[in-house]
Amino acid sequence: MDKPLLQLDNILTGYGTIPVLHGIDLTLAEGDIYALLGPNGGGKSTLLKVCSRQIEPWKGNVKVAGRSMEGVAPEELAKVGVCTIPEGKGIFPNLTVSENLVMMTHSGTDLATIESITYDRFPQLSNKRKQLAGTLSGGEQQMLSMARALGTNPKILLLDELSMGLAPIIVKELYEIVAQLAEQGIGVLVVEQFARTVLGVATRAGILINGKIISEGSPNELEDQLSDAYLGTKGKI
Ligand SMILES: Nc1ncnc2c1ncn2[C@@H]1O[C@H](COP(=O)(O)OP(=O)(O)OP(=O)(O)O)[C@@H](O)[C@H]1O
Ligand SMILES: [Mg+2]
């Protein structure tokens, strides 16, 4: 069998001396959209930060296509095909839209390709080339960060709270793009606190509470368990 795109083996890590993740195992295959769900403070963003190498595992291993990421710098990850869109979008707020696209060429894709992918997909951004990214609307900023995912040709996409602060219609559009990327064979690990839209496109899902994945399964199986897991936030998911 092919090696999984992304594999976490028994990850233990945290901040300072305080552990946050307590033994996470997770695999992501080509075409998977894995929805990682769970309440505030459960460790979802921490888990993505381990995958994007912003924090080191204390124990355990992160592998990309079978290769250990130990010693690989975060800025090298784009070259092995890992694109991360962190909470807060991962764009450069003090640079213009055009300049942000220039920054994306560091992954090796040329500017003309990135520009055409971005402005074809998000025509709204083409009128705003000279605008500082930090002054774009929330939805436009998220479009710009998605443009990075589209333009840099990743194999693995790590998304943290894509829906944060956005209108449901925009969230739906963004997840349609995510689904198209997965159809092309990209593996997507997506964190969301509120689950409904992401479960509509996910192929697998897990619930992370207190640093442990307490349940994993198909989106349907997980949807049934979510109201119990969130205790009282049933109306929101
Ligand atoms: N830089 C940091 N330094 C110290 N503790 C941190 C840091 N970042 C996160 N934590 C703590 O780690 C735990 C997990 O946080 P994390 O951000 O991974 O949660 P989350 O599941 O993404 O939550 P949310 O849904 O609110 O985004 C929390 O208790 C948080 O306070
Ligand atoms: Mg988070």
Q: What is the mean pLDDT of residues 51-59?
A: 95
Task: Kindly state the average pLDDT of the residues 92-101.
Answer: 95
Q: Are 46 and 56 in contact (CB under 8 A)?
A: no
pLDDT over 60 (residue 1): no
Ligand closest to the CA atom of residue 47: 1
pLDDT at 107 over 60: yes
The ligand that comes nearest to the alpha carbon of residue 20 is 1
Position 186 confidence tier, pLDDT thresholds 50, 70, 90: very high
- Does the structure show a pLDDT above 70 at 182? yes
Structure token digits, residue 123: 């025509």
Domain spanning 31-42+73-236 has what CATH number? 3.40.50.300
Helix, coil or strand: residue 32: coil
Ligand 1: which of 12, 21, 46 to mutate, judged by most atoms within 8 Å of the beta carbon? 46
CA distance 134 to 94: 6
Identify the band that residue 190 occupies on the pLDDT scale cut at 50, 70 and 90: very high
Query: Does ligand 1 have an atom closer than 6 angstroms to the CB of 109?
Result: no
User: 177-207 burial, b for 16+ CB within 10 Å, e for fewer?
Assistant: bbeebbeeebbbbbbbbbbebbbebbbbbbb
List the residue whose alpha carbon is closest to atom 6 of ligand 1.
Answer: 15
Per-residue pLDDT for 196 more than 60? yes
* Alpha-carbon gap, residue 135 to 133, rounded angstroms: 5
Closest to 203 in 3D by CA, of 184, 192, 190, 194:
190
Query: What pTM was computed for the model?
Result: 0.90
Domain boundary assignment for the chain: 31-42+73-236
Region 39-50: mean pLDDT is 94
pLDDT at 229: 64
Query: 81 CA distance to ligand 1 centroid (A)?
Result: 26
